Structure 1
Amino acid sequence: MVTFAGKPVNLLGNELKVGDEAPDFKVINNDLEEKTLADYHGKIRLISVVPSIDTGVCSIQTNRFNEEAKKLENVQVLTISMDLPFAQKRWKEVNHVESLELLSDHRNADFGEKYGVLIKELRLLARSIFIVDTNNKITYVEYVNEVTEHPDYDKALEAAKQAQ
C-alpha cells in the first residue's frame, strides 16, 4: 500500500518486479522532444521518480542523484515527474543540475501507467526508483510506501553499480 501524507492512494498500472522486462515509455524532455527508454539503450538506467521537482524531498532526491551520477560508469540517471518541461528546465538551471536528465510524463502519463506509479487521485507519480540493465531487465525496484519520504539512496546506487 502506498500513502500520500498518510492517506492511502490508488496507483494505476501494474507493479513491476525485479526480473521483469522494462516497459518502453514515451515522455518529453525539457526541449519538448519525445524520449523513450530505448533512447538510452546500451546504458544502465537509474530511473528516479518524483511527484514534483519543486518540493523539498523531490529536490533533495534529484540533487543527490545528480551528484552521484558523476561517480557512476555507464549509468544514465533519469528523473521523471509530471511537472511541465518548462518548470523542470527552470529548476534544473537554478540548481545547476548537469549530470542527469529531467523528463516529463505530463502529456500522456505513459511512464506512470506502464511502471505502476501514477497516483489516480492526484495525477502525480509515486516516489520510486527503478534500475534497468543494458538488456532492459529490471534489476532493482523501490516503490516508496509513503510518497513524502525519501527512497533508499544507498541501495539504489549499489544496485546501479551492480547492474550490467
Structure 2
Amino acid sequence: MALIQFTGTSGRTSGELPEVGNSAPDFELTKRDLTQIGLEDFKGKKVVLNIFPSLDTDTCAQAVRAFNSLAVEVENTAVLCISRDLPFAQSRFCAAEGIDRVTLLSDYKDKGFAEAYGVRFVDGPFEGLLARAVLVVNENGHVIYTEMVDNIGKEPNYKAALEALQND
C-alpha cells in the first residue's frame, strides 16, 4: 500500500505498483468508442501508462497534455492515459484540448486494472479513484520504470519516464 498526500490529508492505495523487471499485468479497459482494449493489444510496442484520478483536475489534465506532447519523441511507443472518467468525458476533453497522440482509457467497468496495478484509493477524499502513477513497459511486456507520485497535486517525472523509454 502506498500513502499519498493531499492538501491536509492523505489516502492509501489498494496495493503496490508492479516491480521493475516483472511482467506487466494484462488488463481490459474501455476506449472512448466504448470498445475494450488490453495491454496485449500493444504487444511489440513500448507502452507508457499514465494513471491518474480524473481529467477534471488541473494536475491530471496537465499530465495528459504533457504526455500528448512527449508521445511523438519516441518511436514504436503507445501512451495510455488511464482514469475512471467515463469515455464520454474523455472524448469531450480530447476534443477541447486537441489531444490526439495518446489513448485515453477508462477503468469504470470492471475495475480490475486498479487492483492489478495497486492504484485504487481505498480511503481518503479520492476513495475509489486511481492514484497518480506512471509505468513504462518495454516491447516484451516487462516493466522498466515505475513512479507512484506521493502527492496528488504533483505532476509525474516526465523526464525520467522519457529516459526509461529511450534507454531501454
* TM-score relative to the length of structure 2: 0.93
Q: Which has the higher strand share?
A: 1
Give the gaps of 5 or more residues in structure 2: none
93-102 or 11-20, larger mean C-alpha shift: 11-20
Q: Which of 6, 27, 30 is residue 29 of structure 2 equivalent to?
A: 27
Are 2:128 and 1:123 equivalent residues in the alignment? yes
Are 2:145 and 1:145 equivalent residues in the alignment? no
Q: How far is the alpha carbon of 1:3 from its aligned partner? A: 2.2
Q: How far is the alpha carbon of 1:76 from its aligned partner? A: 0.4
Give the gaps of 5 or more residues in structure 1: none
- Secondary structure at the residue paired with 2:80? strand
Q: How far is the alpha carbon of 1:15 from its aligned partner? A: 3.0
Q: For the residues of structure 2 that align with 1:148 and 1:108, how far apart are their CA atoms? A: 27
Aligned residues: 163
* TM-score relative to the length of structure 1: 0.95
Q: For the residues of structure 2 that align with 1:146 and 1:14, how far apart are their CA atoms? A: 16
Q: For the residues of structure 1 that align with 2:12 and 2:97, how far apart are their CA atoms? A: 32
Q: Alignment RMSD, CA only?
A: 1.1
Give the aligned partner of residue 165 of structure 2: 160
Q: For the residues of structure 2 that align with 1:4 and 1:103, how far apart are their CA atoms? A: 24
Q: How far is the alpha carbon of 1:6 from its aligned partner? A: 4.0
Please list the CA deviations of residues 5-45 of structure 1 after superposition, one character each: whole Å capped at 9, or x if unmatched.
34221211343211111000111000000110001111000
